[in-house]
Amino acid sequence: MGKATGFMEYNRSENPEIAPEVRVRGFKEFHEYNEEDERIRQAARCMDCGVPFCQSAMKLKGMVTGCPLHNLIPEWNDAVYQGHNTHALRRLIKTNPFPEFTGRVCPALCEKACINGQYGDPVTIRDNELFIIENAYLKGSMTPDVPQMRSGKKVAVIGSGPSGLATAYKLNRRGHLVTVYERDDRIGGLLMYGIPNMKLDKTVIERRRKIMEEEGVTFKTGVNVGVDVSFEDLKKDYDAVVLCCGAKKPRPLNANGIDGVKGVYFAVDFLSKVTSELVSGKISDKLMSEVKNKNVVVVGGGDTGNDCIGTVIRMGAKSVTAIEMMPKPPVERTEDNPWPEWPKTLRTDYGHDEAIWRFGSDPRVFETTVNDVISEKGMIKAVNTVKVAFEKGKLVEKAGSEKELKCDLLLIAAGFIGAEDYLPDSAGIERTQRGTVKTENEDKYSTNLDGVFTAGDMHRGQSLVVWAIREGMKCAAEVDTYLMGYTNL
């Protein structure tokens, strides 16, 4: 498990970031990679802790800490330290089929539970993970693994986001014939069009697609099930169908005067549009003109809101204000939020750093919401904001705190309220009050229709990539049991 005294000998060293003033000139990934010698030292910091909370995925006070995939973190850290990189790869992909994705975009629940973080700095688990997989691609050891036998069973997976890809990956490895249907022109779901290029270069997804196709998975893009192909036909043609369509129904902003106003986007729609044009060649002058030299207001303080900040800065925004309804978190853990709980602390992400460099201050405004949209000739011109607080569980506006902000572009990143309606409704699939597809419980994946399953955000609601991958793998095991009467997945 690394070097016994490594955590005392070596300081934490993350993969370096390209400086904001350089990286905002384009949409290339903004992380660089440490040399292998440094990664060996970082792997050496993984101590023989006895109980590795990093791979536990414990739920404490309603929040999970540790890796939901139960990655064998101490094992592959030790393998990196010993220079056994191929062995490290095998131990890593045993539990995580797509470390090239999680190593880039996962918020590293594992590191929050690392015991080194109790009194110092945790191990650079995510960076070590990314080193293992990228080194494998570089050295040619990441090769297709084609099943030796086929079951003859056919499975359709609808949606090619991380849960759909994980489901397809596991079922194909089992020997089933898997076809993945994707309504967009490229696979990946939110990995492709919801996460900006600077966090996850799209060639990484295409590289993985090539391997999966060589392993036997068939991808059909530009096919919208329920529109281009009927769900009933799919049920007839396949032995099982898995719904991995995400939870893309955005939460609306309840503001006066917002209906029909131009210059207002849901955040994922905006990010998707930017990425779609970017991967097709370049961002059009028309789309650039909506952002360049414009005052931008982002509503929502999560990862998507942060991605919007980074995106509009690259597109030349005049100003960016990020509005967050919740109070500003503390910088350090409070006494009632001890390790190994998920740290409820202020997180300053790459977009915030870029805004601080570009505009001289943190763009976030806490305990605030938008209550009015002001427009002129159908185009947004400003928003009225008001301070809010939670009193006895209810959101209360503070009288006299109203403020008008110039706004030429309003991006709504207020979360999601479940799966889109058209496919579940037309297929007769039951849903929960949260808008997700209903199953017996959170650990079951079969729907009310025989032979139809669900996984990922469509099942659990909008969540992290790592949870989507876990859902896909667990769902694949349930599908396999349905098809074969047992499973070894």
Q: What is the CATH number of domain 264-412?
A: 3.50.50.60
Q: What is the pLDDT of residues 331-376, one digit of tens each?
A: 999 999 999 999 999 999 999 999 999 999 999 999 999 999 999 9
Residue 300 confidence (pLDDT):
95
Helix (H, G, I), strand (E, B) or coil at 28: coil
Cis peptide before 340 (omega within 30 of 0): yes
Average pLDDT, rounded, for the chain: 96
Residue 113 confidence (pLDDT):
95
| pLDDT > 90? residue 3 | no
Query: What one-character-per-residue DSSP string does 302-319 give?
Result: SHHHHHHHHHHHHTT-SE
Q: Which CATH class is domain 6-139?
A: mainly alpha
**149 CB-near residues (< 8 Å, 6+ apart):** 175
CATH 1.10.1060.10 in the chain, residue ranges? 6-139
Q: Are the beta carbons of 371 and 255 closer than 8 angstroms? A: yes
Helix (H, G, I), strand (E, B) or coil at 431: strand
Fold of 154-248+417-484: FAD/NAD(P)-binding domain (3.50.50)
CATH 3.50.50.60 in the chain, residue ranges? 154-248+417-484, 264-412
Q: Give me the mean pLDDT over the 72-88 stretch.
A: 96
Residue 46's pLDDT band (boundaries 50, 70, 90)? Answer: very high
Q: Give me the mean pLDDT over the 455-472 stretch.
A: 96
H/E run at residue 181: strand 177-182
Distances in Å between the Cα of 207 and the Cα atoms of 106, 121, 137, 338, 378 are 19, 33, 10, 40, 44
Distant-in-sequence contacts of 13-17, Cβ < 8 A, 24+ apart: 13/38, 13/41, 13/42, 13/124, 14/124, 14/127, 15/124, 15/127, 15/130, 17/350
Q: What is the pLDDT of residues 107-156, one digit of tens each?
A: 999 999 999 999 899 999 999 999 999 999 999 999 999 999 999 999 99
Residue 34 confidence (pLDDT):
87
Phi, psi of 241, deg, nearest 5 = -130, 135
Residue 361 confidence (pLDDT):
96
Q: Are the beta carbons of 40 and 88 closer than 8 angstroms? A: no
Residue 50's pLDDT band (boundaries 50, 70, 90)? Answer: confident
| pLDDT > 90? residue 4 | no
Residue 1 confidence (pLDDT):
63
